[in-house]
Every structure is written in structure tokens, then in C-alpha cells.
Amino acid sequence: MKTVRHKADAVVVGSGPGGATVARALARAGRRVLLLEKGRHHARVGNHLSALSYTDRMGLRFTEEGLNIVRALTTGGSTILYCGAATEPPPWLQAKYGIDLEPHVRETINELGLHPLPDEVVGQGAMRILEAANDLGHRFEKLRKFIDPDRCRIRCGGTCMLGCPHGAKWTARDYVADMVAAGGKIINGADVRRVIIQDGAATGVLALTPRGRLEVEAEVVVVAAGGLGTPTILRRSGLDEAGVGMFLDPLVMVTGVSRHAGTSSGPPMSVGTYEFMEDEGILLSNLIDPWGLWLIMVARKNPARLGQFLSYRRQLGLMVKIGDELAGYVTPDGRVSKPLTRQDHDRLDRGAAVARRILIRAGCHPRSIIVGPVRGAHPGATARLGRVVDDNLQTRVANLFVSDASVLPQALDRPMVLTIIGLAKRLADHLLSTSFQSQV
């Protein structure tokens, strides 16, 4: 098999928010950066057909226990599919682990102009949920978003979760473009198999591409292949401490039929409450699956209710997402086990009961309410702080760092992208002040 060789100051594996952010910062500081991305660059995003092409196994990836896990394999990683909720890191990250992301998160909020959306963009369905929840004494609020309201076409409903075709949603592709403008390079279709380690130090990576083997030599290796991709690469490279225990942020959708415009009349996750987070690790936020996914999920758990599809546009939906306990594993060949604990089930049940009351108050008929199957969308902690990486996100191997959801020490119980960007910026600062000594 033909082998192509490259040299760089830093090789970054994976172009999600963790990888794109660190790659951009290093390229802007004048380092030669090569970003390797397993997925293709899918130019067309934003409909069911395109989403099938960049969603891992066309959305049909399951844990050994049958839990559906969704991730995107394309330039930008799962931000292509994410809802764009921009939540700040939890206070415990600093209090318990000494990681202060405040300056990096503040800089990101200012740079990208992250704010809650205006009421008219939030949409009628979400505003009715917010009012009903607060009538019941909850503390729902509009959430900060990675969405530019001026470019958002609110009527596309759940389409954010298929990819935004209007460019209204910030994705890690924006940072990849900045990296390329600063002189960095990206190679798509490069499936990194392992890190090359010599005398206890990382010296590069080995990847497979459709054209053959690719070997990259670099001073610094940053693995940012996501909560599932990173542990497989680390384990194949001899770091067996990775991939043991994980969180998945399990979630269920609770939906019901109302008489007015439903949740698809605006972007997902534009309102919600963090009131249950600190004590119970539960997040509630407006969300309904795009219609194709709605059909699949209802067919899986509530097939007798498929007829409710006719009232899809009048359905209100709430997502109940919980912070789960660490459990399970990821194997070197990518198999995932994630058993849910009693506490996880209790939290999901408690959240679903609250969601049900809110939907009824918002005008849904009690008999129309459906609780969907449990799913996981945010794998992490598979190369976590304290077990696989130290405070500087370095592994026990010199020059080998990790920059993605896998370094989080426990379930964040809230949307993670703003925290991942903050961690990646902090890592870039560390690398620029300690590595690349030959060029300073």
C-alpha cells in the first residue's frame, strides 16, 4: 500500500469544536498545522437525505445495550447536527477540578455574539412552553444560542438538527475555515488509526485514507476525535486507561398534540430551565425531532401512535436530558457499552413527569402525550481529567494531548460545546507557551 508522508508542527485529529478550536489558535500563532478528519467535507447540509450521509451509520448506531447514539462524521463534527444551545461551563469545573475557563468562554461569547434569540425567532410553540412552565412555578428562560437570528429562517423547525442550510448556526466549520485562512491545512477522509510513539513521546500519527496510508510527523499531537473516536485511537496506541467509564447524557423526548403552532415553529432548545441541574442533573428544553426522525422514534417505542404524525406541526415537545453516572466502556474497535443505573432511570422518569405537566398546561391533550425511547447524544469522559489526561490535557505520553468531550471528568449535565471550546483555547495557550520551543 502506498504511504504518503507529511510534516507539521502540530497534527490535530478531528475537526469538531475541540479540534477546530485548537487548530485555529495554533495556525493563527504561525504554527504549521495539519488537521486530519475522518469524514468527508459534505458541502450540502440541512435535509434528511444529506443528514443520512454524515450521521454515523445513518443514525443507526447503538450501544451493546441498544441505546441509540448520534454523532456526525464530517468537517465540523457533531456541531453540524447540534441544536446550537450555548451554555456556560458548570461552576464545579473550577471549584472541584481547578479549571477556570471564564476568560476563554467570555472571549467566545463576545466573538461569536452568543445571546438568547428574540421572541419572534424563538417561535410561538417554545414561547407557549416557557409561559406554561413559569405559570406552574418553574424557572424557564430563553437560552443563549450559537444562532444568528438575522439569518435564521424560523419556519424550518427542527432542521437545525439535520444541519443548518442557511448558515445561521455557528459550527466548527467556521473555525476550520479560519484555520485554513491562517495557513493551516485539512485532509478529509483520513481515518487516524494510531499515534506513533517513540521512547515515551508522540512523534506523529498513522492514518488510512481512500488513497492509501498517511504518516504525519509532528512535534505535538492533539487527539480530538470526540467522546467515542478519541478512546479508540488512544487504546490502539497502547493507552489502555482510555475508554473505561463514560457518560452519554441520556435523554428522552416528551411530546403532545396541541391546537396551535407546535415546537417545529422555531429552533430547538431556544428555551429551557437549569433549575434542576445542580441538585438533580436534569435539563428540560423545547425540542421535537425533525419529522423523519420523529417517525423512526415513535415506530420504535410507541408504534400505535404513528397516526399522530398527521398533527406533527401542532405538537409541542420537551427534551429531558440528564447527567448520568460514569459506566461502560469503548473498545479499540469502537464498540460501546453504556448500562444505565437506577439513578439515571429515576432522573429520566422525574424529568418526564415534569415535562408532561408542562405540556398539559401548554394545551396538549393528556392522552396525546408520548415519551420516546432513551437515547444518548453527548458521549464524554472517555479520556478524562485525572485518569487519562492531566490539568494541561496531556496524556502520560510526552507531546500527546486530548482536546474534546472525552477529557471532561464527569457528565456536564448541560450542553457542552461552549465548554469544549473554552478547554481547547486554554490548551492552545498552554501549547504556545510550552511547546514548539525550536521556533520561538
Residues binding ligand FAD (CB under 6 A): 13-19, 36-39, 70-71, 73, 77-79, 81-85, 161, 190-192, 224-227, 229, 233, 269, 377-378, 404-405, 415-417, 420
Q: How far is the CB of 436 from ligand FAD (least distance, A)?
A: 22
- Encode burial over 266-283: b for 16+ CB neighbours within 10 A, e otherwise: bbbbbbbbbbbbeebbbb
* Residue number with CB closer to ligand FAD (142 or 368): 142
Q: How far is the CB of 380 from ligand FAD (least distance, A)?
A: 7
Q: How far is the CB of 224 from ligand FAD (least distance, A)?
A: 5
Q: How many CB atoms lie within 10 A of CB 142?
A: 18
* Residue number with CB closer to ligand FAD (175 or 312): 175
**How far is residue 23 from each of residues 189, 191, 244, measured CA to CA in Å?**
17, 17, 27
Rg, Å, the chain Cα set: 21
* Cell numbers placing 202: 508522540
Instruction: Tell the burial category of 433 from Cβ atoms under 10 Å away from its Cβ (0-12, 13-18, 19+).
Output: exposed
CB neighbour list of residue 169: distance below 8 Å, 6 or more residues apart? 79, 82, 84, 146, 147, 148, 160
Q: Reduced to 3 states, what is the DSSP secondary structure of residue 147?
A: strand
Helix (H) or strand (E) holding 193: strand 191-198
Which among 174, 173, 172, 206 is positioned nearest to 191, based on CA atoms? Answer: 206
Type of residue at 49: L
* Residue number with CB closer to ligand FAD (8 or 233): 233
**How far is residue 152 from each of residues 82, 380, 433, measured CA to CA in Å?**
15, 30, 39
* Residue number with CB closer to ligand FAD (73 or 330): 73
Q: How far is the CB of 342 from ligand FAD (least distance, A)?
A: 25
* Residue number with CB closer to ligand FAD (334 or 363): 334
CB neighbour list of residue 85: distance below 8 Å, 6 or more residues apart? 143, 144, 145, 146, 269, 272, 285, 415
Q: Could you identify the residue written with the cell 472571549?
A: 107
Q: How far is the CB of 361 from ligand FAD (least distance, A)?
A: 25
* Residue number with CB closer to ligand FAD (257 or 288): 288
* Residue number with CB closer to ligand FAD (61 or 305): 61
* Residue number with CB closer to ligand FAD (368 or 403): 403
Q: How far is the CB of 144 from ligand FAD (least distance, A)?
A: 10
Which among 77, 69, 88, 90 is positioned nearest to 170, based on CA atoms? Answer: 77
Question: Which DSSP state fits 36?
Answer: E
* Residue number with CB closer to ligand FAD (364 or 426): 426
* Residue number with CB closer to ligand FAD (215 or 311): 215
Residue nearest to ligand FAD (CB): 16
Q: Is the dihedral of CA 350, 158, 75, 104 positive or negative?
A: negative
Q: How far is the CB of 307 from ligand FAD (least distance, A)?
A: 26
Instruction: Compute φ and ψ for 274, nearest 5 degrees.
Output: -105, 10
**Could you give the angle at which helices 417-434 and 102-112 cross, rounded to 10 degrees?**
120
DSSP string, 248-292: --EEEEEEEE-SS--GGGS-TTSEEE-TTHHHH-EEEEE----HH
* Residue number with CB closer to ligand FAD (179 or 192): 192
Q: How far is the CB of 135 from ligand FAD (least distance, A)?
A: 26
Q: How far is the CB of 83 from ligand FAD (least distance, A)?
A: 3
What is the distance between the alpha carbons of residues 395 and 411, in angstroms, rounded to a whole number? 20
Q: How far is the CB of 65 from ligand FAD (least distance, A)?
A: 19
Q: How far is the CB of 314 from ligand FAD (least distance, A)?
A: 23
